[in-house]
A and B are shown apart, each in its own frame.
Chain A
Amino acid sequence: MVVKETYDVIVVGAGHAGCEAALASSRLGLNTIMFTVSMSSIAFMPCNPHIGGSSKGHLVREIDALGGEMGKNIDKTYLQSRMLNKSKGPAVHSLRAQADKERYSEEMRRTLQHTDNLTLRQGEVKELIIDGDESNYSIKGVILTSNAEYYADAVILCTGTYLNARCVYGDVSENTGPNGLKAANFLTDSLLKYGIKMNRFKTGTPARIDGRTVDFSKMEEQPGDEMVVPFSFDNIGKDISREQISCWLTYTNEETHKIIRDNIDRSPLYNGDIESTGPRYCPSIESKVMTFADKERHHVFIEPEGEFTTEMYVGDMSSSLPEDVQFQMYRTVPGLENVKITRNAYAIEYDCIAGTELKASLEFKRIKNLFSAGQFNGSSGYEEAAAQGIIAGINAARKIKGLEPVVLKRSEAYIGVLIDDLVTKETNEPYRMMTSRAEYRLFLRQDNADIRLSKIGHEVGLIDDDRYNALLDKEAKIEAEVNRLKNVMVGANKNMQDFLASKNSSPLKTACSLADLMKRPELDYDSIAPIDPDREKLSDVVKEQVYINIKYEGYIERQSKQIKHFLKMENKKIPVDIDYDDVESLRIEAREKLKAIRPETLGMASRIQGVSPADCAVLEVYIRR
């Protein structure tokens, strides 16, 4: 007799996507079971030991604003925190924290284990149980390799890089997932059976080294920020501040590059062993050396893997070169002359689906109630995975409850940009979030993620009333203060001119508002305090919003206009049952793309590669009819 059990939602995989998906669905009241290939690899970080970074930090803040867990978990377990791009405008400030990998994983497991409606189970899913015919597939459950059958109304696949995974360095090739974990070798076939288009992607990780064998005196220290900004809007910086551990910066040199060049034909990336596509933005050290031959050196960041381990991560030096070459290569780097490798660098190949198989809700187009998130969808990165995870979890729950899915727009969230890109653009490399992908990033700041998204989080049911009311209060305070500053006029009296002179600011010719003064490059909210005696004491987060709203008003207005224009196209829905063969003036390429991807709006259609402005015009004419 096989085990047969029934749940509301099944989550396959317990990585960063799976954790958020399972938490969202169980917190929304659905009886959820999450399968993992290993109970000790929950929320595992198989590559770099940090959370956040340029634009990824935004994703984490947004996950938090929606009621997700990643921000809270890294706040509990960070070793060092930095706000990147601080010299630039607020839109590109990006939070990054080094994580204690083991503690990160432990804390997440603890949270999962203490969540109601959530069951954790070790086991590999080998097959999907699907009902219906080709035009009307619908998921019913999964079968484990033990032959146990689990039934549910919705299934969320978050299998990461484990599908038919293969790890490679030199001529060593092992059919395992990351870090030697068991690969999932059956699910691909199950998906292909239902006509799902699959891709094979590649990524890689550098070696881990023994910190005791590193000479830090030859490197530049990279300390954390003194004032820590938490990822979670629930936390306050001083409450989570702790002694931080530094990272270290060093560089490759000509000797390193020579070793790589001399051994390049032993790299599976170059000798044809690996044919799958890797990410351009995260190249292996051999790709960097071969592609940018004129560059004399490349950065190398040495980052701690945890507080209670001597292992360190060699950032920016991922590789698939053979073990012996790795030893030689790393030892040419200043500070690593006597380094001992604890784990080899390797490249990993894995199966994932074409993102265009999904709707913007992350439900499969071809299989009803089957959702997926994370690297399985062709993305890369912990944060990208978690961001999709929470959306898939929310939407699976909403589907079961008969509610409309939550689809964030490109003008609302980086998460919106991420998912829209995944489901409309056919990416042929692992997709990474970047600030440049967000057209409206002045609105999509990390500092206002709560204002943008917590209302949605509240409506969905993941943000409680207390947090929601606190947000409304914050918004009211911001608005009141902005209005006050715009209305308080200051005159060109002697006090004023003296004050301005002391700030190297030109004297006033006529009276103006405090807001006008704040717009001067050399002045800001805090520096005009002496001439604004009536101001109330406000929290730092309120002051920050007031400052940004006034200082960058002109830019914000211009961006609002762009967003308005964008929404016009975005709100034009394409009928679900449109027959593209009936739209006769479409170019053949565009027709094929539209038929394959079936965009939900005209805006989405316009972003599909191979669909030209003229095609959009044709489509719009057709729809209007």
Chain B
Amino acid sequence: MIKENDTIAAICSGLTNSGISIIRVSGEDALKVVVKIAFAKREDFDLINTKTYTAHLCKIVDPKDGTLIDEGLVLYMKGPKSYTGEDVVELQLHGGVFVANKVLNLLLKYGCRLAEPGEYTKRAFLNGKIDMAMAEAVMNVIQADNDRALNISIRQLDGELSDKIRNLRERIIHENAYLEYALDDPEHVSLDGFKDKLLLIVDDVLVEIKCLIDSYNEGRIVNEGVRTVIVGKPNAGKSSLLNVLLKEERAIVTDVAGTTRDTLEEKAVIGGVPLNIVDTAGIRDTDDVVESIGVDKAKNEIDKADLIIYVVDGSVKLSEEDREIAEFIKNKNVIVILNKCDLDLQVTFDDIKMLFDKDISIIESSMKDNEGIDEFIKVLKDMFFKGEIDTNHDIIIANERQKDALIRSFDSLTNVKDSINADVSEDFYTIDLLEAYEALGDVIGESYSDDLLDKVFSDFCVGK
């Protein structure tokens, strides 16, 4: 087991070559270790005497043979006024992954341990520097791969979500306190009219929590991308579509192994919309989603998807299979690609609309000729940027743990409402009021439950 309070170091500027590399050292011995390899350029100054929040230009030297490795700024931030709450030293080096690695190795050799993923933030949380919502925001900032995500995370880091939750908690606890006060002193305090007043407040808080819960989907889309599944009969052109999309996107971010999924996802930003295309093994190999991954699994993927792209082979008439597929996906956001329009079209828009029994976005296209892609991008943008995802939107929650806690508080408050409506005596409300209060506390780490910590810090990336 890792010691909680030893001195840790890591490169926190990323592992690609950049103009500057930053190594952060945190822990009791941070300065002691750094002065072994860093020497102030000002010859009469011993770096060990540096004051907090001052920077010194230093030479970084391998103490073993005196070789000069780099030159850079050394910044000292004495705990508790630092990011982690411990003594922190940051080395700003001239750049290059190679040099940064060399310096890091020296630090590791002279008393530091390599930081675990998320360990700086974990320490900041443990030392009371940031609350849970902020810690999670840090994680999101690190992982944000589009501007919008970064914006939301930074606002959360700023404490907006925490403030909001605190406000809701305050309102709940205020009513609960009055209730308790009245129950404790029935001869002096009356509860006349309390039910009606409470009902108004509960309704109001419910609306606000609902709004936060709803924002989760948006937040998730912003952070992870639009979960997209491509479906269609064999040979309809699904893999061609995938290839066209992947060519179209401006930057393939990465092949990310899904955290909870066992399938691979292709991440692509199409027309500014981050797509997470679930590459169910079937799409490329057997060209048959439903059969290759089994009906259950296909259903499962479709359930979780934000967007279904349904590729229809326009050159043959609709079949029973198409009806089955339509049945699976008809409650989702669907874009239909009517493919092979370069051939003789056997399927009309009306045929498809009949299949879904409603109006639906259909794009006539020919993957072969790259036709219809621009229109697809337009439809996609309309669907996901209907003025909803803009930077002025209210607070957005961006992770599942927060959403779960919010749902628990929502359910508890709904219980309170049911109790009021069923005319149950007031003292019963407190059970659910307190539960809602606690669940909201879980969102921002203000109530302590033991599994919270592990859950949150398990998927941080190194360097923060």
How far does the Cβ of B322 sit from chain A's closest Cβ, in whole Å?
A: 41
**Would A521 and B422 count as touching, CB distance under 8 A?**
yes
Number of A-B contacts (CB under 8 A): 104
Provide the B162-187 mask, 1 if CB < 8 A to any CB of A, else 0. Answer: 00000000000000010011011111
Q: Is the CB of A617 within 8 A of B425?
A: no
| Contacting residue for A436 out of B127, B184, B415, B435, CB 8 A | B184
A614→B123 CA distance, assembly (Å): 10
User: Known: A442-B431, A585-B5. Contact between A299 and B424, CB under 8 A?
Assistant: no
Is A509 among interface residues, defined by CB-CB distance under 8 A?
no
How many of B's residues come within 8 Å of A, CB to CB? 39
Q: Which of A441, A565, A602, A618 has the most CB of B within 10 A?
A: A618
Q: Which residues of A contact B28 (CB under 8 A)?
A: 584
* Residue B274 at the chain A interface, CB threshold 8 Å: no
Q: Does the CB pair A616–B183 fall under 8 Å?
A: no
Query: Could you say which residues of chain A place their CB within 8 Å of the CB of B180?
Result: 434-436
| Minimal Cβ-Cβ distance residue in B for A565 | B449
With A89-B424, A89-B428, A559-B431 as contacts: A584 and B183 at CB distance below 8 Å:
no
**Interface contact A435-B126, CB-CB below 8 Å:** no
Asked if B446 is at the interface of the complex by the 8 Å CB criterion, the answer is yes
CB-defined contacts of B262 to chain A, threshold 8 Å: none
What is the CB-to-nearest-CB distance from A76 to chain B, in angstroms, rounded to a whole number?
25
Q: Which of A55, A89, A617 is in CB contact (< 8 Å) with B184?
A: A55
A562 within 8 A of B: yes
Q: Which residues on the A side are within 8 Å of B446 (C-beta)?
A: 613
B219 CB within 8 Å of chain A: no
Instruction: Name the contact of A555 in the complex, choosing from B1, B85, B431, B447 (C-beta under 8 A).
Output: B431
List of A residues within 8 angstroms of B453 by Cβ? 617, 620-621
CB-contacts of A551-593 with B (<8 A): 552, 555, 558-559, 562, 565, 568-569, 572, 584-585, 587
B424-439 contacts to A (CB < 8 Å): 424-428, 431-432, 434-435
B1-42 residues at the A interface, CB under 8 angstroms: 1, 4-5, 28
Interface residues of A in 428-454 (CB under 8 A from B): 434-436, 439, 441-442
B428 touches A442 (CB 8 A): yes
- CB nearest neighbor in B for A316: B188
Contact A435 B428, CB 8 Å, known A562-B435, A618-B126: no
Asked if A88 and B427 sit within 8 Å, CB to CB, the answer is yes
What residues of chain A lie closer than 8 Å to B126, measured between beta carbons?
585, 614, 617-618, 621
* A612 to B, closest residue via Cβ: B128
Query: Which residue of the partner chain, among A87, A569, A587, contacts B425 with CB atoms under 8 Å?
Result: A87
Asked, given contacts A612-B128, A614-B125, whether A606 binds B425 with beta carbons under 8 Å apart, the answer is: no
User: Does B423 touch A at the CB level, under 8 Å?
Assistant: yes
A620-B1 in contact given A54-B184, A92-B183, A614-B128 (Cβ < 8 Å): no
**Which residues on B sit within 8 Å (CB–CB) of A55?**
184
- A contact residues around B449 at 8 Å (CB): 565, 569
Q: From A93, which residue of chain B is reached at the shortest CB distance?
A: B427
CB atoms of A92 and B127 under 8 A apart? no
| CB nearest to B423 among chain A residues | A521
Contact A435 B183 (CB under 8 A): yes
Residue A21, interface by CB 8 Å: no
Q: By the criterion CB–CB under 8 Å, are B431 and A88 in contact?
A: no
Q: Which residue of A lies closest to B127 (CB)?
A: A585
Chain B neighbourhood of A616, CB < 8 A:
448
Given the interface pairs A89-B424, A559-B431, A569-B450, the reply to whether A435 lies near B184 with Cβ below 8 Å is yes
Complex: how many Å from CA A555 to CA B416?
11
A552 to B184, CA, bound (A): 21
Query: A54 contacts B5, CB within 8 Å?
Result: no
Give B42 Cβ to nearest chain A Cβ, in Å.
33
Q: Let me know if A584 and B186 touch, CB within 8 A.
A: no
CA A559 – CA B429 in complex, angstroms?
A: 12
Q: Which residue of B lies closest to A249 (CB)?
A: B187
Q: Does A91 have its Cβ within 8 Å of any Cβ on chain B?
A: yes
Cβ-based interface call for B118 (8 A): no
The CA of A583 and the CA of B350, in the complex, are separated in Å by 71
**Candidates A54, A441, A555, A613; contact of B445 at CB < 8 Å:** A613
Determine the residue in chain A with the shortest Cβ distance to B184: A434
Cβ proximity bits B113-141 to A, threshold 8 Å, 1 near / 0 not:
00000000001011110000000000000
Check A625 for interface membership: any CB of B closer than 8 A.
yes
When the two chains form the complex, which single residue of B4, B431, B432, B445 contacts A618, counting CB atoms closer than 8 Å?
B4
In the complex, what residues of A have CB within 8 A of residue B427's CB? 85, 88-89, 91-92, 435, 441
Q: How far is the CA of A569 from the CA of B449 in the complex (A)?
A: 8
Q: 3 closest Cβ contacts across the A-B interface?
A: A436-B180, A613-B448, A584-B5
**Which residues from chain B sit less than 8 Å from chain A, CB to CB?**
1, 4-5, 28, 85, 123, 125-128, 177, 180-181, 183-188, 415, 422-428, 431-432, 434-435, 445-450, 452-453
Additional A-B contacts beyond A436-B180, A521-B424, A625-B1 (11; CB < 8 A): A84-B187, A88-B183, A88-B186, A92-B183, A301-B187, A435-B180, A442-B428, A602-B450, A614-B128, A617-B450, A617-B452
24 contacts between A and B (CB under 8 A): A55-B184, A85-B186, A85-B427, A87-B425, A88-B425, A89-B425, A301-B187, A434-B180, A436-B181, A555-B428, A558-B431, A558-B435, A584-B4, A584-B28, A585-B123, A585-B126, A585-B127, A587-B128, A614-B125, A614-B126, A614-B128, A614-B445, A617-B450, A617-B452
